[in-house]
Structure 1
Amino acid sequence: MDFFRNFAQNFHPSLSEDTFKQMLAFLSIRHFPKNYELVSLDEKPTYFYVVKKGIIRSYNISSKGKEHTKTIYTPTMTSGNLGALIKNEPSKLIYECLTDCEVLQCNYEKLYELSLKNHEVSIFHYKVLQSVYIREESKILELQMLNATQRYKKLQKQLPGIDNLINQYHIASYLNITPVQLSRIRKNLIY
């Protein structure tokens, strides 16, 4: 589990070997195919995930049936409906693999229970939650402060080759624009 060790040490560099072993007890590496739903709408989630390989998205569906991509998750990012996990309630988001994915699957309740008993796990848990909050706040600010072209260029910089990895309508939805707008932006950037 070198992948998890590296991930954990990014958040808590002094995590002890004993604590690391305790956390390994409720972690597993899983493989999921493209289009697999890690969490379905109105399902009570049990796990959160750390993406090792592949791309996952979270999205909801409007009353008119339109999909709205909230977040795109790439390697080393945590994924899973944290709000539903914390509140122990059904998910209002769908989590879908956009490519074949390899993830580290973690039972959230067991991690939380261990964090109540183990200060190191509590610090790790807190730091992961901090990073999720900062990531989500940054996305909200981008939508408010950057125009669509700027958001697209930023996405391309963060995820080189994204245009060849996932469908354009997923990118457009994530950027909060239509596929036609994305096509125009791409055309303008080429010329």
Structure 2
Amino acid sequence: MEFFRNFSLNFYPLSEDSLEKISELLTLKTFPKNYELVSLGQNPTNVYILKSGIIRAYNIDEKGKERTKTIYTPIMTSGNLGALIKNEPSTLIYECLTDCEVLECDYQSFYNLSLQHHEISIFHYKILEAIYIREESKILELQILDATQRYKNLQEKFPGIDNLINQYHIASYLNITPVQLSRIRKNYIN
């Protein structure tokens, strides 16, 4: 409960009653590296709060190339929100890049709770705002920044990520090739 309390303070200060109601929906789970939280074509039901580890959301293009959309590190929310809201199959795969510990929550149960309690509704809204801002920022980075600047931003957001996940995941997230990433890293380190 303390972990969730600290998480919630990043968005909206909840009363003890609301914290308790939401906590009843949460289950602490651990998943091994390479575990798929959401598979391609699966109708997801859960959202996750990442306590430890790294998760990525990616898709596979028509040529079979993986394209990483988002990298999640603690303490971020994860889950295919679009598929959850529209109740449709996921077009993304959510994969644990390391062993992960998460708080798992059934999205529909949380949504229903937010409809019943104004304070929880505001909390839900604040989380959605943060997700929107995070995604908009990623789109703008891809449009405005060059690859070196995107790599620098990644290093600032996730210090030491190079030592935690495969370089091709980082390259895919930055929308560059592994060869380009190697060159950037060489110049960045020197």
TM-score of the alignment, normalized to the shorter chain, above 0.5? yes
Offset, 1:190: 2.9
Aligned to 1:120: 119
Structure 1 counterpart SS, 2:10: helix
Write the mapping of 1:16-55 to structure 2, written as runs, cut at 5 A. Answer: 16-55=15-54
Matched residue type, 2:5: R
Question: Greater CA deviation, 82-91 or 15-24?
Answer: 15-24
Q: Kindly indicate whether residue 166 of structure 2 is the aligned counterpart of residue 163 of structure 1.
A: no
Once the two structures are superposed, the pairs formed by residues 1-191 of structure 1 within 5 Å of their partners are 1-13=1-13, 15-191=14-190
> Secondary structure of the residue that 1:135 maps to in structure 2?
helix
State how far apart, in whole Å, the 2-side matches of 1:114 and 1:84 are.
Answer: 19
User: Once the 2 structures are TM-superposed, how far is the Cα of residue 6 of structure 1 from its aligned partner?
Assistant: 0.8
Taking only the aligned residue pairs, the percentage that are identical comes to: 73
Q: What SS is found at the alignment partner of 1:11?
A: coil
Query: 1:25 Cα shift?
Result: 1.4
Counterpart of 1:10 in structure 2: which amino acid?
N
* CA shift for structure 1 position 9: 2.1
Greater CA deviation, 129-138 or 18-27? 18-27
Give how far 1:57 is off. 0.2
Q: List per-residue Cα deviations over 1:114-158 (Å, max 9, x = no partner).
A: 111100110000000000000000000000010000000110111
Q: Please, what TM-score do these two structures have when normalized by structure 2? A: 0.98
TM-score normalised by L of structure 1: 0.98
Residues of 2 paired with 1:189 and 1:117: CA distance? 51
C-alpha distance in structure 2 between counterparts of 1:91 and 1:108, whole Å: 14
Q: How big is the alpha-carbon RMSD for the aligned residues of Structure 1 and Structure 2? A: 0.7
- Secondary structure of the equivalent of 1:65? coil
Give the distance between the partners of 1:105 and 1:5, measured in 2 at CA: 15
Which sections of structure 2, spanning at least 5 residues, go unmatched? none
